[in-house]
């Protein structure tokens, strides 16, 4: 591309990851986009201010309404996702809550699938309910229940996630988009586990795509962020609400996100391959009862995943033969993956959901929501897959 911008051709993800959203030339002729560490922006005189206030000039005004580093991060995400526009947030949950508060009004209704991120469910079923917005939760993959839950003239939003946490359930994106269109709802997909490298929901007709950028998009376990992507006028509406609520992506976090995104396709492709190998090894292991990975032909979502995804992601969940203690012993015997919440970074992370996200529940209560004590979730990092396979094998042998 030359200085004038060159011809506009659709570019491939590796190129968009490096160059997408980055204006040329950059300030000070730097190769990277600088961190604009500023809280506010200066007007030359009152005439310039009046011109801006009258809507005649596009520029920055105040830190809560935008920052040049944040805008580059947003445009890079949009280029990767094939979206018109994007909006960055302080965290994935800031993206979820701000988006829903921007769209919904009192008396309206949300339909949500049951495997959605726990805090998203808590926000809808718990907090939004206090403000007169009701939520119906339907089983993931039951499209009849999904349609039956829609209340004419009340339901406004259909929110789902694919693949889901921790069982990697897969939602048919085209079908969800079609139901949304028929009933004039806004469809939202949390695509955090897939990343735009493995799945692009907008191409299937979904209105808004959401990511916790804390996971694969940032990719280095060193920054919190969130992003929402979709049509420009929708995103601008959410931006207005963000200007009130204030959950913005800070300039330094935006810079870390830009840096992380440059290697997103490389990282995710490596993680896809490693996770597939680990899932196959575990599926054949006598100490393992079940593996949940949508890249395995035995997974119930495999066929849909093959149709709508180009890779199956880096998270593998599995159930061990044994109970809570036996499972903990295996988790403790693993040497390379470290015990921590979160996923999608360069370091492999392992956790036992019954002791992490669902600790306060009893074994019976956990079973009622489908979280077994022998369940382990592994987020595969960028280590050598041979080392990870050998490490898991020694842990399964030693316990």
Ligand X SMILES: *Cc1c(COP(=O)(O)O)cnc(C)c1O
Q: Which residues bind ligand X (CB under 6 A)?
A: 91-93, 117, 161, 165, 190, 192-193, 212, 214-215, 224, 226
Is 117 among the residues known to form the active site?
yes
Q: Cβ neighbours of residue 299 under 8 Å, at least 6 residues apart? A: 168, 170, 292, 293, 305
- Looking at the Cβ atoms of 195 and 328, the one nearer to ligand X is 195
CB of 362 to ligand X, least distance (A): 25
Element holding 329 (H helix, E strand): helix 324-333
115, 172, 190, 250: which one is catalytic? 190
Looking at beta carbons, which residue is closest to ligand X?
Answer: 92
Among 16, 71, 115, 117, which one carries the catalytic annotation? Answer: 117
Residue 295 to residue 118: CA distance in whole angstroms: 24
The least distance separating ligand X from the CB of residue 156, rounded to whole angstroms, comes to 20
Comparison of 217 and 288: residue with beta carbon closer to ligand X: 217
Distance of CA 276 to the CA centre of its chain: 20
Query: What secondary structure does DSSP assign to 245-285, as a single string?
Result: H--BPPHHHHHHHHHHHTTHHHHHHHHHHHHHHHHHHHHT-
Pick 214 or 274: Cβ nearer ligand X: 214
Catalytic residue among 156, 200, 215, 239: 215
Q: How far is the CB of 294 from ligand X (least distance, A)?
A: 14
Q: Which is nearer to ligand X, 76 or 396 (CB)?
A: 76
Strand-pair category, 315-320 with 375-379: antiparallel
CB of 114 within 8 A of CB of 160? Answer: no
The token pair at 76 is 């890079």
Min dist. Cβ of residue 92 to ligand X (A)? 2
| Least gap, CB of 221 to ligand X (angstroms) | 12
Structure letter (DSSP) for residue 33: P
* 65 in active site: no
Is the backbone of residue 313 left (phi > 0), alpha (psi -120 to 50) or beta? left
Set 26, 64, 121, 259: catalytic member = 64
Comparing CB distances to ligand X, the nearer of 117 and 293 is: 117
Q: Report the residue number, 62 or 359, with the smaller CB distance to ligand X.
A: 359
The residue among 116, 67, 59 whose CA lies nearest residue 90 is: 67
Q: Closest distance between ligand X and the C-beta of residue 167, in Å?
A: 12
Q: Closest by alpha carbon to 211, among 86, 369, 333? A: 86
> 289: which 2 tokens?
């009862």
- The 3-state DSSP class for residue 179 equals helix
User: Is 181 annotated in the active site?
Assistant: no
Mind giving me the DSSP string for 110-142? EEEETTS-HHHHIIIIIIIHHTT-EEEEE-TT-
Pairing outcome for strands 288-292 and 208-212: unpaired
Q: Is 64 a catalytic residue?
A: yes
CB of 240 to ligand X, least distance (A): 21
Q: Which CB sits closer to ligand X, 193 or 255?
A: 193
The catalytic residue positions are: 64, 117, 190, 215
């Amino acid at each position: 591309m030359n200085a004038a911008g060159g011809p506009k051709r659709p570019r491939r993800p590796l190129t968009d990851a490096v160059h997408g959203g980055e204006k040329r030339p950059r300030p000070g002729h730097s190769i990277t986009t600088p961190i604009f560490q500023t809280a506010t922006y200066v007007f030359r005189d009152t005439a310039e201010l009046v011109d801006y206030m009258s809507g005649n000039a596009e520029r920055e005004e105040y830190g809560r309404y935008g920052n040049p580093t944040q805008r580059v991060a947003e445009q890079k995400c949009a280029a990767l996702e094939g979206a018109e526009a994007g909006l960055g947030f302080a965290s994935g949950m800031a993206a979820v809550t701000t988006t829903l508060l921007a769209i919904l009004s009192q008396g309206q209704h949300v339909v949500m699938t049951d495997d959605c991120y726990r805090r998203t469910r808590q926000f809808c079923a718990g907090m939004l309910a206090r403000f007169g917005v009701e939520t119906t939760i339907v089983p993931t993959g039951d499209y009849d229940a999904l349609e039956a839950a829609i209340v004419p003239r009340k339901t406004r939003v259909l929110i789902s996630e694919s693949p889901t946490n921790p069982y990697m359930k897969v939602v048919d994106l085209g079908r969800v988009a079609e139901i949304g269109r028929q009933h004039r709802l806004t469809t939202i997909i949390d695509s955090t586990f897939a990343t735009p490298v493995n799945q692009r929901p907008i191409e299937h007709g979904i209105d808004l795509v959401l990511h916790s950028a804390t996971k694969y998009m940032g990719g280095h376990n060193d920054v919190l962020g969130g992003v929402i992507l979709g049509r420009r006028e929708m995103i601008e509406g959410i931006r207005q609400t963000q200007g009130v609520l204030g959950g913005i992506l800070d300039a330094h976090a935006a810079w870390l996100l830009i840096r992380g995104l440059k290697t997103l396709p490389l990282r995710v492709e490596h993680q896809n391959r490693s996770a597939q190998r680990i899932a196959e090894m575990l599926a054949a292991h006598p100490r393992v009862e079940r593996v949940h990975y949508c890249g395995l032909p035995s997974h119930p979502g495999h066929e849909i995943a093959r149709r709508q995804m180009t890779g199956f992601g880096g998270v593998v969940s599995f159930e061990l033969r044994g109970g809570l203690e036996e499972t903990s012993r295996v988790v403790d015997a693993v040497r390379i993956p470290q015990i921590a919440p979160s996923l999608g970074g360069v370091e492999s992370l392992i956790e036992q959901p019954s002791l992490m996200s669902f600790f306060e529940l009893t074994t019976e209560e956990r079973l009622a929501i489908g979280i077994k004590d022998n369940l382990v979730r592994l987020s595969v990092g960028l280590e050598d897959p041979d080392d990870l396979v050998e490490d898991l094998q020694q842990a399964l042998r030693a316990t």
